[in-house]
Each structure stands twice: as C-alpha cells, then as structure tokens.
Structure 1
Amino acid sequence: MKALFWFSSKLALHMRYIVVVTGLANPSPIIQTFYMEESLVDHVKLDGVVTLVDAKHASQHLNEVKPDGVVNEAIEQIAYADRILLNKIDLVGEPELDALSYRLKRINEMARIKRTKFGVVDMEFVLGVGGFDVERVVSDITQLAAAESSAKEHSHDHDEHSHEDDHHHEHDHEHSHDKGETGHDHKHDHVHDPCVSSLSIECDGNLDLEKVDDWLGNLVEENADDLYRMKGVLSIEGVETQFIFQGVHALFDGMNGRPWRKDEKRINKIVFIGKDLDKEAIKKRFFECLVPAKQTVPTARG
C-alpha cells in the first residue's frame, strides 16, 4: 500500500504537479506540513491524497495487529485518501473485491474508488482532485450523497428480487456487514480494526450560529488527534448563504458559499472520518444546535 501526494504549483503559467510517494506510513505529517509551512504555502498547494491498494494483499495489511493506541498505517492511508486505486484486481475474485471495497468505504466513505490493473488509470481521476479546497466541498458531498442513494436503490432492487422469506432476509442483511473477504464472520477482524470509520450526518433545518460554532470548536479541540478528515455544508439561521468547511485534525478552513435558492430545501450535510469517535454523542450534540421549527399559532375566532 502506498500514498501519493499531488501538489500543484501556484506560480507556473501552466499547471504543474509534484508527486510525493510514500511507503506504508502515516500521511498526516506530510499533509500538515503543506498546510503550516509558510515557505511552501506561498508556492504550492496540496491537491489531494491518492492511496494505492494492493487488492491481493490489502486484507493482510488491514488486519495487522498493532500495540494498544497505535493505529494501523494501512488504515490511516485509507482514512486520509481523496482517491483510492484498488489495483491488481485481476488477481482476486469479484466477491473478494466487493467485500474489500465495502471495507474501504466503511473506513472512508468520502474517497472515490477506482479498480485498476497494472496501475493504469485516467489522469483526470488523480489530477485536479481539489481534496483540500473548501470550494470543492459542496460537489464532493453531493457526489457522496448521489453514490449513497444509488447504493440504497441497488440494495432495494436486490431485496425485491430475493426469493427468501422476509424474516430470513432481514437477518442476513443485519449481519452482512460483518462478513470478511471470504464470507466468514468478520467479528474477528474487528479486533484488528482500531475503530477508524466514517460518520455522516444529514438533516434539514437551520442551525444556531453560536451553538454550532461552539460544537465544532469543542469537537475539533477534544478530538484533534483522532479526527482525520471532515467536510460539511451547513444552513445557518438568518444567513442566506451556505457555510462550507473542511479540516484535517485541528486544521480547519471555512467560508460562505453560494446563496440558498428560494425553492431549495436547506439541508445540512457533514462527513467525519476518525478513530474511536463517539458517534452517538456527536450526532446528539449536532442536533442540539438546530433551531426549533416555528410553530404556527392559530388565530382565535368569535
């Protein structure tokens, strides 16, 4: 497994890219260097992180047991990725590829995955990624929502064509996500997985600016080491533009986006990728930031 960092030059008349290739290592220090090192920030910008996954041996790396408190580097490379190249697909079967793809998505649902042989890929997939551009957050989350919707439709179609009785199908569906690449119970593999996963929150309504600002600030401060990536589009009460943000650990960047259209439903969408995140607590505190819907008071008559 390898991580490739793509950087584009800000000064060149024609766009130029610098590719930094690592082995099996934590990508975070490189990412943060290009955020914080002033001598670099003025000349280049981080375009994206591309992780190359060996489909034949990926499970071996992902299942590697680490000491308590140490995150598996292979899992970290998946968590930080903007693009994932699932390579050597000719060496494994379709069921194994599907199971591995699901596992990668469970870690990082924001990353786009492309299956390849011999590392052959269209350059458009790995160049101009804009993985760290706050302006690209809306399109990234929109694509993610579309992919999730498509997956749900596919799952629904599969349900409709099942010849099993309803009770049996529901039982299988509840446990299908716990099966590994060979179809066996995946609980053993969870022992190896240091709980790095994605959390998505989507709901309509407006947010109280002061509450959501405190919530995000506290969340980043309390979970800086364990919060790998985050992106979001928020609807703030009394503000007619979208608020969009993205971040890596404690590095946070936000800005006002385009105006909400009059006929548009104002929907909040957030994605977090992190380790040992208290998902229920995060969701609970987020929903506490919502402004209660205004109730219509009936007019007294007579």
Structure 2
Amino acid sequence: MSDIAATATIERRPVTILTGFLGSGKTTLLGRILRDESHGLRIAVIENEFAQPIGLDNELKPSQHEHGHSHDKASGRAACVAEITETTNGCLCCAGKGDFVNLLHTLSENIQRFDYVIIETTGMADPGFASVFLGDPIIKKNFYLDSIITVVDARNAPSHLDEPRNRTDDAGFIILNETVEQIAYADKILLNKIDLVEGQKIADLEKKISLINPVASVHRTQFSNVDIKSILNVKLFDVKQLMNRDDGFLTFRPNRKHDDDIVSLTMVAVEGVDANSVEKWYKEWRNDKSIQLYRTKFLVRTKEKQKWVLQGVAQQMESYYHGPWDSDSIESKFIFIGKGLDVEAIATSFYQAVGVEISYMPLAGITEDDGFNSLIRLFGILFILYAIVNPQKSWDLATSPYFIALVSLCVVLRYFYTKYNDPSAKDKILQSKSH
C-alpha cells in the first residue's frame, strides 16, 4: 500500500474538492487521478453537473482528450473507483446543497468501501458549500476536508477576472463572480492550458491570482498534468486562513446568487447524425455576437454508428472520434452553457443545417431555492415552536378541518407549481418540417 493509502486508513475519510470555471480542465484532472493507481486509494467520486442529467462526462471517461490531444485509454472503470455519484439538482452551493449533505450521510454508512472522496463541482459552483464539513455533525464525524484544488483556464480566466467581483442587482442580491470565488477559496491552484497563452500574459494572470489569494500555491500545467501525490492527502485546508480571506465562510448568506442570465440548453437527436454537418453548423453558430458561450459538449451517434465528440470552451473547440457507438441508447446529446441562448433559434438552425428532428429541454438556469419551499419551511418552524409552547392547542389546531384544508391546498399548489416550472417536465419535440 502506498504512503497516501496508508495515511487514509484512519476513521475519517479525507475529501478533496476539485473546482474551477466551466471548461477549465477539472474533468481531465479527475480522469488522471482515477487512471493513476499508484496512490492505492479506493475513491468515491461525487460529480455535480450544471446541465441536464444526461451523464455526458461519464460517457467520455476514462479516455481524456483536450486541445486535440489524445491521452492514454483504459477499458472500463478504473480499478481505484469505489463509487461514482452524479448530482444534478442544482449547484452544491444552492438548491443542490441539501442533496449533497444527504449523499455524504449515505456515504458515511458505507465508509469501509472507500478510502477517499473527490468532489468535482459544476463550473458555476461557489466553493463556500465546503462549510458543511465543519457544521454538520455526521459529516464531521466521518469526513474531513483535505484541500480545495482550483483549476484555472489560463486563456479564458482574465476576461472573467475583469468582471466585478460581486455586484448587486436591483433586488439587493449579490451576483457572484464564480471565477474569483473559486480562486479565493483555493488551497492550491492549477494554472492550466498555459500552452495556449504567451509567457507575459501568464505572469500577469499569476499576479491577479495572488492579489485574490496570496496563500495558495500556483502550479502551471498543460492538460491538467500534475503529480497526483501533490494534490491528494496534502492536508492543506486551514479554516483560520480561509476565514481571514472570507469571514462569512461559516455563516448562512441567502442574499448571494448566481447570474440568472447564465443558462444551459440540452438537445437530443434520436436519428443518426452527420458529424461534418454538426461541426460546420457549430462553427458558424458560435460566431453569433449576441451569444456569450462558456461551454459546449456534444456526444454524437453518427450515421455510421460511430461515437463522435465535440468539446468547446468559449471560442475554442475540438472534435474527435471516440470509437464505435456501444451504448444501448440511440440518442445523440448536445449541451450548451452560456448567455443569450435563444432555444427556438438554436433548435431551428440546427435542424436546417443537420437535417434531423430534435427534442430539447427548456432553458435551465442555476437552480436556486424557490420562495415556495422557503415559505413552507417557515410555516413548519413556526408550527413546531407553537407546539412546544402550547402542545394541546397545537394538537387541536392540527386536527381541525380548516388546518387540514390549508395543508391540502398547499400540496395541490406545490404539485402544479412543480409540474409547470420543472424543466424536465416540459420536454417536447420540435417539429421543423416546414423549414
């Protein structure tokens, strides 16, 4: 057993959080960790997706491609992987936080199955959700936060850092600059894709990073290539240092939110698709000046039953064949994340260029906790307090026909609210025969 594995056999399991903006190279780094069996660890993986739950990243693993380069392939799941869980019900820092806590509780019941936990966040995540490792008693008993590793895209990060750190909207909510927050929370920073940037620009970016976080070490990388032992079981997380950079780390901050203009669009085609037509369409479409594109991921079943992949970050893109189509599903999958995405225009132009019918899910912004849930929770808390003070009266109230009618009304309203506001419930087929 390696030194890393030996030190991980303690009762509490170490946790590494991999964060970084969309397309920075987090999944590539995770793939390297899972293929490198020298660490001797059985790893439980938690992946948080911003886009709809179609599992595109899992379909592409374990083979990793970046900038047109192909890396070592492995067949099947890496031997070190104990479990992979994908969370798609919102960012871990927002609506998905409750599911994340429940997931860690579940993992704690099977803690003997793994030695280590790695969490790959969505590119839109605020790493402040890491406070659960210090506040939840079940999580504190079974896990400890080893480090927060932030992957920074050297080519695209400067434009994000030039945006305001945290601006306030008309309603008084603080709109997060996720790239800045991810750097601020980091214990170690991987400055990735340096092969795409000139030396002086890299040095200038490192200066900007040091102003945001003067404590974290910065390592220049290409294709997220780093010594695995330098990022696992390194015990870098220090809550006192983090509190010096963010004194609100351990407090509940309901007035912080993501940019509502950033949305995801998922499209699915059930017919065999011509890869050349898709790539030609994409190259023309991405030049639309009204669109601010952050990330694209295509997994295409070609007419020849080959698996073809297109990955895009901002205006960069790469495409490659990934072997024969070996999935039971016949669906080609397309994910777009960015601003200014007009779902009808995209779907129509796609059909005109590619010539296949498509289904699509309506635009999904980052899921925040909605007001209906907050109201129900407040009502429940007030009723519990009332029951503690007046147990007999609270029982009489709970069994009264008026109270029962009110609860029934809430259930009905919640049903219809979910039915007409849940994006997954609105999936429909776009028929474009007339075009």
Q: TM-score range by the shorter chain?
A: 0.3 to 0.5
| CA radius of gyration, larger in | 2
Calculate the TM-score normalised by the size of structure 1. 0.41
Calculate the TM-score normalised by the size of structure 2. 0.29
